[in-house]
Structure 1
Amino acid sequence: MAQDRTDAQGSSTTPRTAALVDSRFVPRQYEPNYAYPLLVLLHGKGADEDQLIRAMPALSRRNYVGLGLRGPATVFKHDRPVGYSWGPEFEIPERSSFRNVPILSEGDRFRRAMREPELDSMMRLEEGVFAGVREIRSLMHVHSERIFLVGCGEGAAAAYRLGLSFPERFAGVVAINGWLPSGFRPLSRFHACRDFPVLAVHGAWNARVPLHRARRDVATLRAGGLRVAFQSYPCNHRLNSDMLSDVDTWIMTHCTGQPVV
């Protein structure tokens, strides 16, 4: 694994017409005859599609294809856009340092509704992720049974929601400093999720999402019979190199036990 991080490689960002803007990470010395695991990367609130793409070299420079997706909702702070989010369904309910929409006049709201019809956040998430996966599979050699959702913060809440709703479509979920979204029944597909792997990694000093909350979410999933690995680290809500190294090891351990397509 250490050698993976010594071979330098950049990321590739390509505009497209699918539902969500994306940024892509191409493994170093990409081999088109090898079926790569795909990491679908979902950023935290106020960030964008490049947040986890920038972390890919610390994870691995050659093990994975990375697909960073941009949340569909613009985040405003002091009436200025500061990034993107996955929608109000995935927020931490008790924290509201950002507003998802600026203050608009009645006329502006009408014109925006006519120009940009609202879609349910879950529908936008599903359509955007599935469209992004289809497109990158048409361009690169991706293993059909090794598609992992990796989310950070609010993106982890979105990854939980999507992965536990469609466990047959993904190889597992990695939740970094995240939480289970409010109003979501994570065990509604109890039998389908029994063998669905989840890794939750969390900063012990995370003031935004306290460690006890992450432990409570993990306990909820384990009570339903899910295979949830959990580890905390001496850091806050930011990405940690040891955390990323353990994510790499966990994903590759699950990949090596699966048949090759």
Structure 2
Amino acid sequence: MSLSLIELESDATGAAPRASVIVLHGLGADGNDFVPVVRRLRLDEVGPVRFVLPDAPERPVTRNGGYVMRAWFDLYAPGAGQEAEADVRASQALVDALIAREIERGVPASRIVLMGFSQGCAMALVTGLRHPQRLAGVIALSGYLPLADRTAEERSDASRDLPVFMAHGRQDDVVVMPRATAAREVLESLAVPCEWHEYDIGHEVSLEEIRDINQWLLRVLA
């Protein structure tokens, strides 16, 4: 793997994981960003779960004055498009490789969840909807859907009943609510089963949201 990453397991006994959750961070963060969230999840009913928290590649981000930071794709200046398609496709391949790695280690695709925040949310949706094998589900937090106009033609047959948990803060001024609801509308138009949640927060994750994520994971990994 070309990505550095953190791995955590919910069971300290060393038992083989029964499921994996791949967690994709947002712009300028790294794999450490969601360690506190992962540690709050209680999935004992599922059995041992492996959490994989990769670091995005470092790249100049146009919207941030060319400053080099961890980013799944470049963001252009407002009015000049939202994201670099070539970067999105390249990061999709990286996430696909992470999925393949979990499968090689004995976790079937049907027991793998993609979870992402902001840019990571974007990549979780792009990858999950196109993956040739049906995953356990996608958790899409405070983000949106890149390449939305390509989704219908590029989605895999395997993703047609892919469960999606979508959540957004009503006060989010980084990824504004209409971008999230537009993503939800695309999923609904494709009959993707999408569970929608709103919270009175900004561009962040709340304790209430973590509790809802926990309950959703217990259902899709039951």
Instruction: Report the aligned-residue RMSD.
Output: 2.9
User: TM-score scaled by structure 1?
Assistant: 0.71
Q: 2:59 aligns with which of 50, 74, 77?
A: 74
Number of residue pairs matched?
213
- Contact 1:145–1:170 under 8 Å retained in 2: yes
Q: 1:168 aligns with which of 133, 142, 146?
A: 133
Q: In structure 2, do the counterparts of structure 1 residues 193 and 133 end up closer, same or farther at CA, with 3 Å as the change threshold?
A: closer
Give 2:30's aligned residue.
Answer: 48
Give 1:128's aligned residue.
Answer: 94
- Contact 1:190–1:224 under 8 Å retained in 2: no
- Contact 1:28–1:61 under 8 Å retained in 2: no
The gaps in structure 2 that reach 5 residues or longer are none
Q: In structure 2, do the counterparts of structure 1 residues 208 and 92 end up closer, same or farther at CA, with 3 Å as the change threshold?
A: farther
C-alpha separation in 2, matches of 1:93 and 1:157: 18
The structure having more radius of gyration, on CA atoms, is 1
User: TM-score scaled by structure 2?
Assistant: 0.82
| TM-aligned CA deviation for residue 131 of structure 1 | 3.4
Give 1:86's aligned residue.
Answer: 72
Q: In structure 2, do the counterparts of structure 1 residues 23 and 190 end up closer, same or farther at CA, with 3 Å as the change threshold?
A: closer
C-alpha separation in 2, matches of 1:181 and 1:30: 40
Q: Which has the higher helix share?
A: 2
Q: In structure 2, do the counterparts of structure 1 residues 205 and 123 end up closer, same or farther at CA, with 3 Å as the change threshold?
A: closer
Runs of 4+ in 1 over 6 A off after TM superposition: none
- Contact 1:161–1:181 under 8 Å retained in 2: yes
Q: Secondary structure at the match of 1:174?
A: strand
Q: Deviations over 1:20-44 (max 9, x none)?
A: 11111121434415x4221111110
Give 1:145's aligned residue.
Answer: 110
Q: Deviations over 1:152-202 (max 9, x none)?
A: 001100111111111525221111001011465222237443211111011
- Contact 2:25–2:34 under 8 Å retained in 1: yes
Q: Deviations over 1:85-126 (max 9, x none)?
A: 0013xx487389xxx9xxxxxxxxxxxxxxxxxxx4245324
Is 1:236–2:202 an aligned residue pair? yes
Is 1:24–2:7 an aligned residue pair? yes
The gaps in structure 1 that reach 5 residues or longer are 1-17, 101-119, 257-261
- Contact 2:132–2:156 under 8 Å retained in 1: no
Identical residues among aligned pairs (%): 23
Give 1:209's aligned residue.
Answer: 175
C-alpha separation in 1, matches of 2:197 and 2:157: 25
Give 1:64's aligned residue.
Answer: 49
